[in-house]
Structure 1
């Protein structure tokens, strides 16, 4: 899948299978390439999800402002240098580009590797996440801002709620509701693992 130029935010998800005994070496390399991506223009954030079981892959998440920023990272000399510095002992086994709201829900390994949740479920989960934030803001923050005009209060509250929503409330709601949002992933986790190979796309990682 190739993100459209005006398709909004893009989240890149990559799964890497690491040879036993090389986990620390891979983690150092993975964090170096994620740090490089974080410093790249248009990157909104990155994440590294270690496996719950040693036999499972590691998961890398890179969140970009739009398709142009994503493509700029893919073709950047910095990314090429990071890939060239890889020492081996790990192999890309899955890659997905998640567009728009789908990327918000990729904060867990189960969410990232499963099919995107239906939009109505994402809307419901977002409501669960944002409801306590707006309630808390109205109870504890708004009374202290009564002297300000409505527009000024809104401009102050919006970034606070947005940050808490992105980094705290929504990841927590996704984890609590993961079996409902991603039932296929829950079934796959409960079932005995089957060996499966995914073709790598566009490089060994990221």
Structure 2
């Protein structure tokens, strides 16, 4: 099955009851610690609410494939922790499963929607093309004398971090109307 070979990202959004934030933070620490013990778990990111902008917590779990993600999602451990945290939140969580580069194409404060693949491919290609050329012009000369494998490692790590945290969020906002046209 094609999806077995793809990294799967589970995005959970949830609004915490007023006054329960400290308990929710402790609960988050516990449930993410348990998730870490499951095969294929590749990391968890937590985006906390921003007053006046985004009221919900966004929890992002990544797994190395569909079966490992499914093992966590359907586990008794997760079921137990969800029951423990139920009194801390206003409603059921909104859960989305995405794979591949789709996670780069999300707009802050909005549910993740997947734009057409040709659009994500074009914007990813354009961003990678520009960024790799800029890194080669400005960073590679500073690394001369290092072994080629180390240079490649530094460039690719820098590129992925910049794409994930700087470039793609801005590109997504810039091209939002093209990626997510309004339906009449």
User: Per the alignment, do residues 157 and 55 of structure 1 end up closer, same or farther by CA in structure 2, a change over 3 Å counting?
Assistant: closer
Q: Which moved more, 1:5-14 or 1:170-179?
A: 170-179
Alignment partner, residue 130 of structure 1? 128
Q: How does 1:1-206 map to 2 (within 5 A)?
A: 6-38=4-36, 40-49=38-47, 50=49, 53=52, 56-76=55-75, 78-86=77-85, 88-90=87-89, 91-106=91-106, 108-110=108-110, 113-145=111-143, 153-184=151-182
Deviation at 1:47, TM superposition (A): 2.5
Structure number with the bigger relative contact order (C-alpha 8 A, sep ≥ 6) is 1
Deviation at 1:88, TM superposition (A): 0.8
What stretches of structure 1 of length at least 5 have no aligned partner?
185-206
Alignment partner, residue 195 of structure 1? none
TM-score, scaled to structure 2: 0.71
Distance (Å, rounded) in 2 between the aligned partners of 1:27 and 1:34: 11
Distance (Å, rounded) in 1 between the aligned partners of 2:37 and 2:106: 21
TM-score, scaled to structure 1: 0.65
Distance (Å, rounded) in 2 between the aligned partners of 1:41 and 1:5: 17
What stretches of structure 2 of length at least 5 have no aligned partner?
none
User: Per the alignment, do residues 29 and 107 of structure 1 end up closer, same or farther by CA in structure 2, a change over 3 Å counting?
Assistant: farther
Q: Contact conserved, 2:54 with 2:109, CA < 8 A, in 1?
A: no
Size of the aligned set, in residue pairs, is: 182
1:137-159 Cα distance to aligned partner (Å, 9 max, x none): 21123234555776775455333
Distance (Å, rounded) in 2 between the aligned partners of 1:38 and 1:7: 20
Q: Contact conserved, 1:48 with 1:60, CA < 8 A, in 2?
A: yes
Distance (Å, rounded) in 1 between the aligned partners of 2:129 and 2:40: 29
Instruction: Say what the alpha-carbon RMSD is for the aligned residues.
Output: 3.6
Q: Contact conserved, 2:53 with 2:109, CA < 8 A, in 1?
A: no
